[in-house]
Amino acid sequence: MRRISFKLLIYTLILLFCMLVLSFFLQGNIVTSGFKANLKNRMIQYAKDISDKYRNNLDYSREADNIANIINGSVSIYDANGNLIESHGRFMFGRTRNIERQVILDVLSGKTIYLTDQKTFQGSTLITLGIPIINNNKIAGAIFIHTPLHDIQNDLQNVKNQIFILFIIAILASIIGAYVLSSLFTKPILKIIDAAKAIASGDYNIKIDIKNKDEIGELAKTITFMAHNLSKTEKLRRDFIANITHELRTPLSIIKSYAEAIYDGILNQKQIKEYAYSIMVEADHLNSLINEILELSKLQSGAVQINLQPVNLKDLFREIVSEINIIKGNRNFWLFEDDIIIEADLKLLKRAFSNIIINAIHHTSDSGNIYIKAKKENNLVKISIKDDGDGIDESDLPYIFNRFYSKNIKKSTGGLGLAIAKEIIQIHNGKINIFSKKGEGAQFVVELKL
């Protein structure tokens, strides 16, 4: 997990670093472009101010001198014939004159010249603006403004240094933020891993205390729920083994006792027959129990091949009720009268419904009633088997069909009857549900496709 936390920290830092570096360079370029654009606009405005005073015969010389001092550069003014009238500020030897001679004709033809690729003798970049003086739509002269970029570059570098300091601060803040983020992200995962290890070691009594409302929180809730269900399933498994052991031990003890009595020769002929008969009955019970365990395992493994054929549900339930007549006692059966035909495996379906009905018999008084109804709904048939017995506790309902459910196991089903019934219904692509309240009986509802 430390590796995940470390990777998350590194990936986050790399992403933030790349974003900050990109932002740093973009900000630098934006500031540089802004400085240069602002400088050009100011130089044009300075030239216009001098031009206005020149056209109006005002004190343009003083204006030119002030501007030259402001920009720490030079200002030159030419007449319409290209003759230098005056020059102010830093002359920078012959460099500015050489530039002016090269472009003076272009400026006097009405063009505005802006050069940024010239160098002074000291190697500093020189910015040159040449603008014509227009008076009554005629070229009256030209103005040249030169300024070295050195001072501006110093100001620009100061701004970049400030941006760089902010960049370093942002990197440090990103490191701290990424560490906190990775810790917050991995802390609940560590809790989930510890819980998973506990579950793997057989400790199901866990609860993951994670308050997250995101997918990690949902995962924690799911694992807690899974552990809770595993705990119940483990208890049911132990109970199932205990009950099956009891179910097997009882007939085996009887068989052993009767066999010992016969072996010791202490019984008369009549007693021998009675004991032998009891041994056969208990052996049949053992065989039935083992067969049911094997049948359920076979159904759950998907090894059963179903033989679909038309099945008349009314005839099927009449046959089932007739066959269980010996155990139904004085209970009353109420059957539906409609002929409903479905495609199903007759043998398996008979087994499933027999188990449900036998379960209803065992939970209904001898004078009780069992209602069997069936009706079509769209492309389905819903079959209801309802009794007026004691009902089932609500807390037991989720586990009624569980093969490990052992409450009130009956010898006739070995506690597996309803589990077998559910598996048979499911391999027919059907559904089975139970509805019950304590004291109000139970109702099994089966849905099958027509």
Q: What's the confidence (pLDDT) of residue 274?
A: 86
* 120, pLDDT greater than 70: no
Contacts 24+ apart (CB under 8 A), 276-280: 278/254, 279/254, 279/255
* 217, pLDDT greater than 60: yes
Tell me the average pLDDT across 277-302. 79
Q: What is the pTM of this model?
A: 0.46
Read off the pLDDT band of 291 (50, 70, 90). confident
Q: What's the confidence (pLDDT) of residue 5?
A: 63
Instruction: For domain 308-449, give the CATH superfamily.
Output: Histidine kinase-like ATPase, C-terminal domain (3.30.565.10)
Read off the pLDDT band of 94 (50, 70, 90). low
The listed CATH number (2.40.50.1020, 1.10.287.3240, 2.10.10.90, 1.10.287.130) that belongs to domain 215-301: 1.10.287.130
pLDDT digits (tens, 9 = 90+) for 27-70: 667 766 777 778 888 889 999 999 998 888 888 899 889 998 88
DSSP string for 291-352: HHHHHHHHHHHT-PPP-EEEEEHHHHHHHHHHHTHHHHTT-EEEE-----EEEEEHHHHHHH
C-alpha torsion sign, points 294, 296, 299, 302: negative
Q: What's the confidence (pLDDT) of residue 357?
A: 92
* 208, pLDDT greater than 80: no
- Residue boundaries of the structural domains of the chain: 2-155, 215-301, 308-449
Looking at mean pLDDT, say which of 9-23, 44-58, 185-199, 396-410 comes out highest.
44-58
Instruction: For domain 2-155, give the CATH superfamily.
Output: PAS domain (3.30.450.20)
